[in-house]
A and B are shown apart, each in its own frame.
Chain A
Amino acid sequence: MTHLLSIEDLSVLIRRPGRDVAALSGVDLHVDAGEVVGLVGESGGGKSMVARAIVALLPGGARTRGAVRFEGADVLAMDEAALATHRGHGAALCFQNPRGALSPTRTVGRQLTDRLTTHQRMDKAAARETARQLFEAVGIRNPARRLDAYPHELSGGMAQRVMISLATGCAPGLLIADEPTTGLDVTLTREILRQFRHAADTDGRGVLLISHDLASIASVCDRVVVLYAGTVVESGPVAKVLREPAHPYTRALLASVPDVSGRPARAIGGAMPLLPSPPAACPFAPRCAHATERCTAQRPPLTGDGWAYACFHPQTGGGAAAPGAPPPPPRGGAGRGGVGGVGADALPRPGGAPACPPPPPGAAPAAPVTAPPPQRTAAGRVVMEIEDAHVVYGSRFGSGGHHALRGVSLEIRAGETVGVVGESGCGKSTLARLMLGLTAPSSGTVRLDGIDLHAQRGRKLRRLRTRARLVFQDPVGSLSPRRTVADAIGEPLRALGVPAAERAERVAQVLARMNLDPAMLRRHPHELSGGQAQRVGIARALVGDPDLIVFDEPTSALDVTVQAQILDVIAELAGDASRGSVFISHDLATVRGFCDRVVVLYLGRIVEQGPVEEVFGNPRHPYTRALLSSAPSLDGGYTGARVELAKDLEEADAATGCPLAARCPFATDECRAEPQHLTPYGAAEAACWRVPQIPALIREGAHTRA
């Protein structure tokens, strides 16, 4: 049987002066029409190199061996003319950064119709009509109007949809998506991935979905291929590879991702090597707990039919996600609970069924709480107190502006960890900046250790600022390029007037606590890996012994196994009773891992808050339910009734009434007219007057659909 795409023993060696990199070493994989294949692994594993090889866009200095056969023809041997047809018609690439890939000075409609008129030889009217249909097919509302929009007028999710329509415009047989959802929040990720499933199911295209995030693509893939250091370590049907992975790396990769059902992440040490030549032994052996002498002496071949793995000591039984998994090692800090593997109905997408299952009929309105509520009493002193804070970012020209926070009140005590979740654009980062004194509230007060942060000036303000610290999303970018690590970590101490000798000592101490080599003190940020840079960032936050640490998406820029290592570090710190922590994330699973309380933000307002087990186990607000429903999961995840939101987030919705009304399936005229206030429901609070009715509404909805 011939495959749509088959990559046979592909090796790519990149020759750079002084340093060769074996980007791919003997990779075999295939994609059939109508099939979605996931290609997963950490950065540096060779995922993007595979994508580039398929369209013969390899970097300069690349030497290839093996073949990339597309419908029988070897892509690597094609001449320019054949390649031009192959790219676009044969295989089309969707880029990771859609805004960067769209030309900013032409309307998106024009960019699409240009392709249609040149490649498909359509006339202008036909091209515009086809473009409109393509936009509609990827779920763009008002497609005729959007055709005339410029890329900067589109939100991130909308731009990615346009990108997909551009890629599918010339009816390619194969669609390659390189990290299409990185940087998007959970609800959009789900929506975009659904588009790829749709392309495979209805148009019979082959789809190669590249991602570092196993959980999020699990629901749409038929098969997955796991890459490590340029080699395929495991490949097979999604149900096999993700449910009972055989290769220790696949298992480690799966265990590195915390699950929304409460299973925390388990970290493995080390980092992926960049190999100068094709490996002679198992490349994972140095990090593998099961490695024996044989693993370091010869390279295990990829064996098996359909489900194949390259390992001498394949593991059996459920992976990290399955109920049989060993209990995770206990970690510092209280208040996290939950048992792994809740339901057997994990991996909601069987065969060719729609990616999104409807709410299960008769789903229990109040899902069982998977663990007893945390026993920790947050009796510590209040370190951060926000009272009815509004933040408006004024525009420089004229009136108007962006209302980022609309009356948020929040208290954080020493010893507790508060999670803040919500989609992009809900005000999470503004809240962080507010707590750090980087943004002043337009009204309301922010008190740090009981002192009004925004009423202070000069030296007093600077000293107060060192009491609250921020760990940034972009670890390398948050370090000054021309300053050494020692300088960066020591900066808060310098502000406090600590003498140089003591400063050096305390910096060395905190560096040791982060498990970093003292030799790193003299390095500059560009010499650090992402994980190392984030450890430096945490060390800098910790060195002055602050009362509050705010983690603003600290792991979202990191690879999954590194994420797990950093989460370990943070979890250990969060257990410290002497200070409060705030953990901001759009990834609900990581928040559940070690937060005591959760605050759900929507368009600048708190729509639900309460103890973490209460909010996750028994969500009240439709928005919280929707976030939980969208959270990717390998364990079956959220078992309560699923709620789907209509449309993407739009800021204009925040103007009157309940901000969610335009997207909420339960909205009434009253919701649209009346602003909602936080009301206690059990141990939590939610800003929705329909909370008591929702279980019944969900049951009805399920009945009508059934």
Chain B
Amino acid sequence: MAEVRVEAGARSFSRVLILTGAAILVVVALAALAAPLLSSWGPEEIDANATLAGPGGAHLLGTDTNGMDVWSRLLYAARLDLGVAVSAVALAVVVGTALGLLAGYLGGWLDDVLMRIVDIFQAFPTFILALAVAALLGNGTVNLVITIAAVNAPAYARLVRAEVRSIRELPFVDASITSGASTVGVLWRHVLPNSLTPVRVIAPLNCGWAMLTLAGLSFLGLGVTVPGAEWGAMISLGSPDVVAGRWWTSVPPGLALLVCVLGFSLLGEGLQERADARRRS
């Protein structure tokens, strides 16, 4: 009896996690899209009469040293942060999965070469690597997506390769080969759909990390630079003011970052729980 309750409990718990995480992200995304409706100021619009004005009045969350509206920047930054994080992870998943699929299924020298490259990538701490790649590629939204994708793709390649190596030994792969399917056909129709389970769990978690990486790069001046609206850049810009007691320039973007990463983490954890529960039953 107890065991049954635990199973049912695990399932409803994972549901709560998934729904909460998804709800947070949906709210943030909607706010980002509706930014022009929610704020009367543009993200890079300068109110020369009010630099470092406190919250309230004409500026809901005050202004920063340049006289730009914090609330408005906060909303527009969500577009960039969510957009870059999600598209970078999507790119990493596509590239990493493709490489892992080929390496795992074909094996041989291709596997050796690809996996040694992956080893090199993974030998560096992720953030240091991101710094190096960002410095190499230079600024710009597209370059940021590429940078963050590049540091995350090796993990997917390794993950998918491991899955593929066990899947290719299963009888249904032999069945497909003897049915006359081409290698691409076997990979696309049988191996790929069956090897994506762990990717589905890791990718949302990874979006949270990607967002932190982006904010970190911007904080250090290698990502988005002021006047571009990005949470990391906003924190960086406002950090001297916090010491002086003007908290409204840095704390709101920090909290926004926290809420988003939390949303992704809850979603990822929930998916993980659900996958585990399914494996147990």
Contact = CB atoms under 8 A, between A and B. Distances in A.
Given A17-B8, A472-B171, A438 B190 contact: no
A465 B4 contact: no
A319 interface: no
A436 B175 CA distance: 10
Contacts of A61: 1, 3-4
Given A15-B4, A16-B4, A61-B4, A478 B181 contact: no
A491 B176 contact: yes
Nearest to B193: A482
B49 interface: no
A492 B171 contact: no
A705 to B, nearest CB: 46
- 5 closest Cβ pairs, A-B complex: A60-B3, A495-B180, A478-B171, A466-B180, A462-B180
Interface in B166-192: 170-172, 174-182, 185, 189-190
A474 B179 contact: no
A523 interface: no
B14 to A, nearest CB: 16
B193 A492 contact: no
Nearest to A482: B193
B1 A478 contact: no
A483 B8 CA distance: 28
Interface residues of B, number: 22
B240 to A, nearest CB: 55
A322 B251 CA distance: 89
B174 A438 contact: yes
A406 interface: no
A468 B189 contact: no
A466 B193 CA distance: 23
A110 to B, nearest CB: 30
Interface in B117-174: 170-172, 174
Interface string A508-545: 00000000000000000000000000000100100010
B1 A60 contact: yes
A465 B179 contact: yes
Q: Quick one: which of A466, A479, A491, A492 has the most chain B CB within 10 A?
A: A491
A474 B181 contact: no
B214 to A, nearest CB: 34
Nearest to B192: A482
Determine chain B's interface SS by DSSP, over half rule. Answer: helix
Contacts of B1: 15, 60-61
A438 B4 contact: no
A683 interface: no
Given A60-B4, A472-B171, A437 B178 contact: yes
A492 B181 CA distance: 7
B172 A491 contact: no
B8 to A, nearest CB: 6
Given A477-B170, A480-B172, A17 B4 contact: yes
B180 A465 contact: yes
A95 to B, nearest CB: 20
23 contacts: A16-B4, A17-B4, A433-B174, A436-B174, A437-B178, A438-B174, A462-B180, A462-B181, A469-B178, A470-B174, A472-B171, A472-B175, A474-B171, A477-B170, A477-B171, A480-B176, A482-B194, A491-B175, A491-B181, A494-B185, A495-B179, A495-B181, A495-B182
A463 interface: yes
A537 B178 CA distance: 12
Given A17-B8, A61-B1, A61-B4, A480 B179 contact: no
A32 B172 CA distance: 47
A59 B194 CA distance: 30
Contacts of B190: 480, 483
B4 A462 contact: no
Interface of A: 15-17, 59-61, 433, 436-438, 462-463, 465-466, 468-470, 472-474, 477-483, 487-488, 491-492, 494-496, 537, 540, 544
B172 A540 contact: no
B2 interface: yes
Interface string B26-65: 0000000000000000000000000000000000000000
Contacts of B172: 477-481
Given A60-B1, A61-B4, A491-B179, A480 B174 contact: no
Nearest to B3: A60
A651 to B, nearest CB: 21
A494 B181 contact: yes
Contacts of A487: 189
Given A465-B177, A495-B180, 17 more contacts: A17-B4, A61-B1, A61-B3, A438-B177, A438-B178, A465-B179, A470-B178, A480-B176, A480-B194, A481-B172, A481-B194, A483-B190, A487-B189, A495-B181, A496-B180, A537-B175, A544-B180
A481 B181 CA distance: 17
Contacts of A488: 175
Q: Quick one: which of B3, B172, B189, B193 has the most chain A CB within 10 A?
A: B172
A59 B3 contact: yes
A470 B8 contact: no
A477 B190 CA distance: 12
Given A17-B8, A60-B1, A61-B1, A478 B177 contact: no
A702 to B, nearest CB: 46
Nearest to A463: B180
A466 B176 CA distance: 10
Contacts of A472: 171, 174-175
Contact of A540 (B8, B179, B185, B193): B179
B194 A470 contact: no
Contacts of B175: 470, 472, 478-480, 488, 491, 537, 540
A540 to B, nearest CB: 7
A338 B178 CA distance: 36
Contacts of A480: 172, 175-176, 189-190, 193-194
B188 to A, nearest CB: 12
Contacts of A492: 179-180
A437 B181 CA distance: 13
Given A15-B4, A477-B171, A480-B189, A462 B182 contact: yes
A472 B176 CA distance: 12
Contact of A483 (B171, B180, B189): B189
Interface in B1-34: 1-4, 8
B24 to A, nearest CB: 30
A233 B3 CA distance: 32
Given A474-B171, A477-B171, A480-B172, A465 B3 contact: no
Contacts of B194: 480-482
A436 B178 contact: yes
Contacts of A477: 170-172
A494 B182 CA distance: 10
Given A17-B8, A61-B1, A468 B181 contact: no
Nearest to A467: B180
